[in-house]
């Protein structure tokens, strides 16, 4: 009699274990389904990850808009307000003045303003910026990286198949949530 009873208990234990596993699998499936539905319902936009960008210049030429929806952004918290900004001046500039031949930007989209002492503030005129990345490359070369490129969403048409993303050699373009559409550049340690 005990053997039969033990056999029944084993069967009950097995039944309970398999039932609990089934309930856990069902719950996991439901949670995964809800997360996937939220992800699908959440609108996304294209953005350039400034930490992956190699400043190849394709943002200026591959965008379906002219000028490109990609613009240079200046993160003032990273900037050193230098007298000689390598994102502003040509590397071979003989004179540090604001003449066009000494500026790195081909369309003079960076405006330089004197603050005090040896300090200058650099502003990006987005209306002039073509997204070529020359200033970004200069700033990254031996600067602090305060200049970087970002897709400006008030200009971007949010193509389903972004031409710049396809042409990007660094795979720096990605879809990000529309409620947080910008990616800040990480500070170098």
* Distance linking the first and last C-alpha atoms of the chain: 73
pLDDT at residue 93 is higher than 90 = no
Q: Strand ranges (DSSP E) for the chain? A: 44-48, 70-74, 110-116, 119-124, 147-151, 173-177
Radius of gyration of the chain from its Cα atoms, rounded to whole angstroms: 27
Q: Cis omega before residue 7 (within 30°)?
A: no
**Span 119-138, pLDDT tens digits:** 888 899 999 999 999 999 98
Contact of 151 with 46, CB cutoff 8 Å: yes
Asked if 110 and 124 touch (Cβ cutoff 8 Å), the reply is yes
Is the pLDDT at 64 greater than 70, yes or no? yes
Q: What is the DSSP string of 18-35?
A: HHHHHHHHHHHHHHHHHH
The mean pLDDT value for 8-29 works out to 78
pTM above 0.85, yes or no: no
pLDDT (0 to 100) of residue 188: 63
pLDDT in tens, 69-88: 999 998 888 887 777 788 88
Confidence band for 2, pLDDT divided at 50, 70 and 90: very low
How many whole angstroms separate alpha carbon 133 and alpha carbon 54?
9
Average model confidence (pLDDT) across the chain: 85
Taking residue 142's Cβ as centre, other Cβ atoms within 10 Å add up to: 8
| CB neighbourhood size of 153 (10 A) | 15
Look-up of token digits 């879809």: 175
Q: Residue 5: pLDDT band by 50, 70, 90 thresholds?
A: low
Copy the structure tokens of residue 59: 């943002």
């Amino acid at each position: 009699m005990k053997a039969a009873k033990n056999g029944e208990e084993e069967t009950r234990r097995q039944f309970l274990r398999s039932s609990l596993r089934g309930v856990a699998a069902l719950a996991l499936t439901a949670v995964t389904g809800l997360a996937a539905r939220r992800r699908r319902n959440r609108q996304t936009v294209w953005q350039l990850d400034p930490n992956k960008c190699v400043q190849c210049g394709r943002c200026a030429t591959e965008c379906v808009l002219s000028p490109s929806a990609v613009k240079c952004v200046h993160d003032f918290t990273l900037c050193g307000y230098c007298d000689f900004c390598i994102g502003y001046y040509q590397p071979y500039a003989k004179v540090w003045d604001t003449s066009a031949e000494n500026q790195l930007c081909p369309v003079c989209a960076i405006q330089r303003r004197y603050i005090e002492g040896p300090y200058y503030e650099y502003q990006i005129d987005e209306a002039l910026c073509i997204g070529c990345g020359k200033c970004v490359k200069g700033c990254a070369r031996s600067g602090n990286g305060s200049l970087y490129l970002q897709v400006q969403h008030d200009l971007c048409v949010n193509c389903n198949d972004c031409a710049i993303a396809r042409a990007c050699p660094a795979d720096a373009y990605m879809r990000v949530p529309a409620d947080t559409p910008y990616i800040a550049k990480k500070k170098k340690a």
